[in-house]
Amino acid sequence: MSCIRTLYRFSLILALAFCLLLHADFVSAQKVALLPMSDFSKGENGVNLQLTKAVETSLKQLGVEMVSRNDLMLFMARNKVRSFRFLDSYLVKKIGAEFDSSLVLLGTVTEMDEKTPSIGLTFTALDTVDGAPVWSASEATSVKEQAPILGVGEAKSVVDLARPVLKDILSPLADIAHNASSLESRDYQLVGLSLYPGYVRGSQLVKADLKILFLGKRPTFIAAESEIGKSYLQYDRRTDSYQGEWFAPREDGRYDVDLRFEWGRERTVERLESVASYEVINDAPGLEMEIKKTIKIGQRLAFRNHVLILPRVDNLRPMAGWALSIKDERGQVVAYEEYDTDLPERMIWEGRGGDGFRLDNGVYTVGLEVWDLAGNRSAAEQRIVLQAYPPKVEGKIKNIEGEASLTLHAAGFYEFPLSNWRVELRSMTGALLVKGKGRELPATFDFLPVEGEKWAYLTVDGVDPLGNRLRGKKVKLQVVAGEKKIEKQEAESWVPDF
Amino acid sequence: MQKKITYFLLLGLCLTLLGCSNHHGLQTRIMAGADTNICSVVLLPFENWTRKQEVALLTERLFTSQLLQTGEFNLVQAGDVGMFFLRQRLRPGSSLFKRHLTDMASQLEVDVVIQGRVVDAGSVRRSGDEKVPFLSLAFNVYDADTGALVLNTVHQRKGDDFRKLMHFGVETTLSGLTEKMSQEIIEDWFNKGITCR
In a domain, A492, yes or no: no
Say which amino acid occupies A184: E
Residues of A with CB under 8 A from a CB of B: 40-41, 43-44, 84-92, 108, 110-111, 118-124, 126, 131-142, 144-145, 147, 189-192, 273-274
Whether residue A253 has pLDDT greater than 60: yes
Residue A489, domain member (yes or no):
no
CB atoms within 10 A of CB A376: 17
Closest CA to B55 of A113, A84, A40: A40
Domain span at residue A213 reads 188-280
In a domain, A6, yes or no: no
CATH number at residue A405: 2.60.40.10
Query: Does any domain span residue A496?
Result: no
Q: Is the pLDDT of residue B185 over 50?
A: yes
B96 backbone dihedrals φ, ψ, rounded to 5°: -100, 140
* Residues found in chain B: 197
Are A422 and A443 within 8 A, CB to CB? no
Contact A40/B87, CB-based, under 8 Å?
no
* A461, A408: one domain: yes
Residues A272 and A417 in one domain: no
Q: How many domains does chain A have?
A: 4
Distance from CA of A135 to the nearest CA of B (A): 6
More confident residue, A105 or A164: A105
A372 plus A293 within the same structural domain: yes
Domains in chain B: ranges and CATH: 23-191 (3.40.50.10610)
CA distance to B88, B102, B104, B145, per residue, from B107 (Å):
11, 9, 5, 11
Res. A12 pLDDT band, cuts 50 70 90: very low
| C-alpha pair distances (Å), A432 with each of A374, A409, A478, B190 | 73, 21, 16, 101
Nearest CA in chain A to B78: A85
DSSP letter for each residue of A227-292: TTEEEEEEEETTTTEEEEEEEPPSS-EEEEEEEEEEETTTTEEEEEEEEEEEEE--SPP-EEEEEE
Same domain assignment for residues A55 and A164: yes
Percent of chain A with pLDDT over 70: 87
Tell me if ipTM is over 0.95: no
pLDDT band at A132 (very low <50, low <70, confident <90, very high): confident
Mark yes or no for CB contact B79/A138 under 8 Å. no
Q: In A, which residues are within 8 Å of B58 by CB distance?
A: 40, 110-111, 120
Same domain as A165, residue A32: yes
Provide the CATH number for the domain around residue A299. Answer: 2.60.40.2550
Task: Select the residue of B53, B66, B173 nearest A120 (Cβ to Cβ).
Answer: B173
pLDDT for the residue A16 = 37
Using a CB-CB cut-off of 8 Å, the residues of chain A touching B83 are 88, 90, 189, 191
Q: Mutation test of the interface with chain A: which of B53, B61, B100, choosing the one with the most A Cβ atoms within 10 A?
A: B61
> What does the pLDDT read at residue A29?
44
Q: Find the closest chain A residue to B60 by CA distance.
A: A110
- Whether residues A66 and A119 share a domain: the answer is yes
Domain end: A280, A303, A336, which one?
Answer: A280
Q: Which of A234, A250, A280 is the last residue of a domain?
A: A280
Best A90, A111, A114, A116 member to test B by mutation, with max B CBs in 10 Å, is A111
**Could you tell me if A42 and A158 lie in one domain?**
yes
Are residues A359 and A417 located together in one domain of the fold? no
- When CB atoms are compared, the residue of B74, B82, B178 closest to A132 is B74
Q: Is A345 domain-assigned?
A: yes
Domain co-membership, A303 together with A344 = yes
Report the distance separating Cα A134 and Cα A130, nearest Å: 10
Residue A291 falls inside a structural domain: yes
Residue A3 has pLDDT above 50, yes or no: no
Give residue-wise pLDDT tens across range A347-399: 999 999 999 999 999 999 999 999 988 889 999 999 999 999 999 899 888 88
Whether A233 and A305 map to the same domain: the answer is no
Please indicate, yes or no, whether residues A340 and A475 belong to a single structural domain of this protein: no
Distance from CA of A137 to the nearest CA of B (A): 6
Q: What contacts A68, CB < 8 A, 6 or more positions away?
A: none
- Residue A4 counted as domain residue: no
Measured between beta carbons, which residues in chain B are less than 8 angstroms from residue A90? 83
Task: Identify whether the C-beta of residue A33 lies closer than 8 Å to the C-beta of residue A124.
Answer: no
pLDDT at A24 over 50: no
Of A384-388, B102-106, B174-178, the least confident: B102-106
Pick the last residue of a domain from A386, A408, A440: A386
Beta partners for residue B141, in sequence order: B114, B151
Within a domain: residue A18? Answer: no
How deeply is A271 buried, as exposed, middle or buried, from its count of CB atoms within 10 A (0-12, 13-18, 19+)?
A: exposed
Q: Which chain B residues contact residue A142 at CB under 8 A?
A: 172-173, 176
Please tell me whether residues A174 and A36 are part of one structural domain: yes
User: Average pLDDT of A288-317?
Assistant: 90
